[in-house]
Structure 1
Amino acid sequence: MEKYLREWRQEALNRCQYDTAIFVADKLLALTDDDQDAFWLAQVHFTTGNYNRTQSLLARGNLVERIPQCRYLAAHCSIKLGKMDDALQILGDKNPTHLISAPGSARTKLRHVDVNTRAGSRHNKNGSRNERLPTSEERDGEDVNNIKSEAGMCYLRGVCYAKQNSFDRAKECYKTAVQIDVQCFEAFDALMSNSLMAPEEEWKFLESLNFDTINVSNNASLSQEAASFTKTLYTTRLSKYTRPEEFTNATETLTTHYNLGSNPDIVLSKADLTFTLCRFRDTLALTSAVLATDKYNFNILPLHIASLHELGEKNTLFLLAHDLADSNPNEPCSWFAVGTYYLSISRIAESRRYFSKASMMDPHFGPAWIGFAHTFAAEGEHDQAISAYSTAARLFQGSHLPQLFLGMQNLQLNNLSLAREYLTSAYELCENDPCLLNEMGVVYFHDHQLSTAIQFFTRSIALSEHNDAEPESALPMRINLAHAQRRAHRTPDALASFDRVLRLGLKDAAVFAAKALCLLELDRAWDAVVTLHEALAVSPQDPMATDLLNRALEMREGDSGLGLAVDVEVEGQAEIEELDRRLNGRLSEIEANRVAGRRARRRGGEMDPDQSAFGESMLVDSDEG
Structure 2
Amino acid sequence: MIDNPEEQLQRVVNRLRKVVEDYSAQRQFESAAFWGDKLLSLNRNSSDDLLLVAKCFMSNGDYNRTRILLENSPMYHTDPQFKYLVALCHFNLKDYQTAANVLEILEEILDVEQQQQPGTSFKTPFTPKTTNMEFSNPLRASICLLRGKVAEVLGSLQQAMKFYEEALRFDVFCAEAYEKLIKKHMYTPEEEQRLVERMIIEKQCDTDTASVVRCLYEQEVHQYMKPIVVNLPTYTIGLLNDNADYCINIAEKFYYNYKFRESFDLCKKVLTHNPFHQHGLFIYIALLYEMKDKTELFSLGHRLARQCPENPISWLAVGCYYLVTKKPEPTRRYLAKATSLCRSFGPAWLALGHSYGLESEHDHAISAYFTAADVMRGCHLPILYVGLEYSLTNNLRLAERLYSESLKFYPDDPAVLHELGVINYLNREYNHASHFFQRALAKVEAIDQVDLLPYWEPLFNNMGHACRKLKKYEEAIAHFKKCLGLTPRNPQTLIAIGFVHALQGNYGQAIEYLHQGLWLSPASSFAQTLLNKCFNMTQSKTYVEQLPEPPNDLNEYLSSRQNSTITQADIIPVTLPSSVLEESDQGGTSMITT
TM-score band, normalised by the shorter chain? 0.7 to 0.9
Summarize the Cα distance change of 1:153–1:242 in structure 2 as closer, same or farther, 3 Å threshold. Answer: farther
Contact 1:509 1:545 in 2 (8 A): no
Choose from 493, 502, 525 the match for 1:511. Answer: 493
Deviations 1:195-225 (A, max 9, x none): 111111111111111111333xxxxxxx211
Choose from 17, 32, 35 the match for 2:28. Answer: 17
Summarize the Cα distance change of 1:504–1:183 in structure 2 as closer, same or farther, 3 Å threshold. Answer: same
Deviations 1:279-298 (A, max 9, x none): 33332222222222223333
Deviations 1:54-90 (A, max 9, x none): 2222223453442232222111111111112111111
1:84 aligns with 2:64: no
1:533 aligns with 2:533: no
Q: What count of residue pairs does the alignment treat as equivalent?
A: 561
TM-score (norm 2): 0.86
Per the TM alignment, residue 95 of structure 1 is displaced from its structure 2 partner at its CA by 7.0
Choose from 244, 255, 258 the match for 1:264. Answer: 244
How far apart in 1 are the matches of 2:207 and 2:581? 50
1:551 aligns with 2:533: yes
Contact 1:306 1:595 in 2 (8 A): yes
Contact 1:512 1:531 in 2 (8 A): yes
1:71 aligns with 2:52: no
Deviations 1:493-521 (A, max 9, x none): 11221122123343222222222222122
Per the TM alignment, residue 150 of structure 1 is displaced from its structure 2 partner at its CA by 1.1
Choose from 444, 447, 450 the match for 1:469. Answer: 450
Choose from 554, 563, 568 the match for 1:595. Answer: 568
How far apart in 2 are the matches of 1:448 and 1:401? 26
Deviations 1:293-347 (A, max 9, x none): 2233333223222222322322233233333333333333232222222222222
Choose from 35, 39, 50 the match for 2:62. Answer: 50
Q: Report the 3-state secondary structure (helix = DSSP H, G, I; strand = E; otherwise coil) of the residue aligned with 1:312.
A: coil
Per the TM alignment, residue 183 of structure 1 is displaced from its structure 2 partner at its CA by 0.8
1:578 aligns with 2:555: no
Summarize the Cα distance change of 1:202–1:587 in structure 2 as closer, same or farther, 3 Å threshold. Answer: farther
Relative contact order (alpha carbons < 8 A, sep ≥ 6): 1 or 2 greater? 1
Which residues of structure 1 form unaligned runs of 5+?
Answer: 100-121, 216-222, 570-574, 601-606
Per the TM alignment, residue 590 of structure 1 is displaced from its structure 2 partner at its CA by 10
Per the TM alignment, residue 8 of structure 1 is displaced from its structure 2 partner at its CA by 3.7
Q: Report the 3-state secondary structure (helix = DSSP H, G, I; strand = E; otherwise coil) of the residue aligned with 2:91.
A: helix
Summarize the Cα distance change of 1:617–1:87 in structure 2 as closer, same or farther, 3 Å threshold. Answer: farther
Aligned residue runs from structure 1 range 441-460, under 5 A = 441-460=421-440
Per the TM alignment, residue 31 of structure 1 is displaced from its structure 2 partner at its CA by 2.3
Contact 2:458 2:580 in 1 (8 A): no
Residue equivalent to 2:300: 320
How far apart in 2 are the matches of 1:420 and 1:331? 37
Residue equivalent to 2:6: none
Per the TM alignment, residue 243 of structure 1 is displaced from its structure 2 partner at its CA by 4.9
TM-score (norm 1): 0.82
What amino acid maps onto 1:479 in structure 2?
N
Contact 1:410 1:416 in 2 (8 A): yes
Per the TM alignment, residue 360 of structure 1 is displaced from its structure 2 partner at its CA by 2.0
Per the TM alignment, residue 49 of structure 1 is displaced from its structure 2 partner at its CA by 1.4
Residue equivalent to 1:572: none
Residue equivalent to 2:114: none
Contact 2:24 2:32 in 1 (8 A): yes
Aligned residue runs from structure 1 range 140-151, under 5 A = 140=134, 147-151=137-141
Aligned residue runs from structure 1 range 326-345, under 5 A = 326-345=306-325
How far apart in 2 are the matches of 1:262 and 1:590? 39
Summarize the Cα distance change of 1:174–1:318 in structure 2 as closer, same or farther, 3 Å threshold. Answer: same
Choose from 417, 442, 454 the match for 1:437. Answer: 417
Summarize the Cα distance change of 1:161–1:548 in structure 2 as closer, same or farther, 3 Å threshold. Answer: same
1:524 aligns with 2:514: no
Choose from 158, 161, 178 the match for 2:151. Answer: 161
Choose from 206, 219, 230 the match for 1:249. Answer: 230
More divergent stretch after superposition (292-301 vs 426-435): 292-301
1:228 aligns with 2:211: yes
Residue equivalent to 1:485: 467
Which residues of structure 2 form unaligned runs of 5+?
Answer: 1-9, 112-118, 124-128
How far apart in 2 are the matches of 1:286 and 1:544? 47
Residue equivalent to 2:115: none
Residue equivalent to 2:7: none
Summarize the Cα distance change of 1:457–1:614 in structure 2 as closer, same or farther, 3 Å threshold. Answer: closer
Contact 1:182 1:210 in 2 (8 A): yes
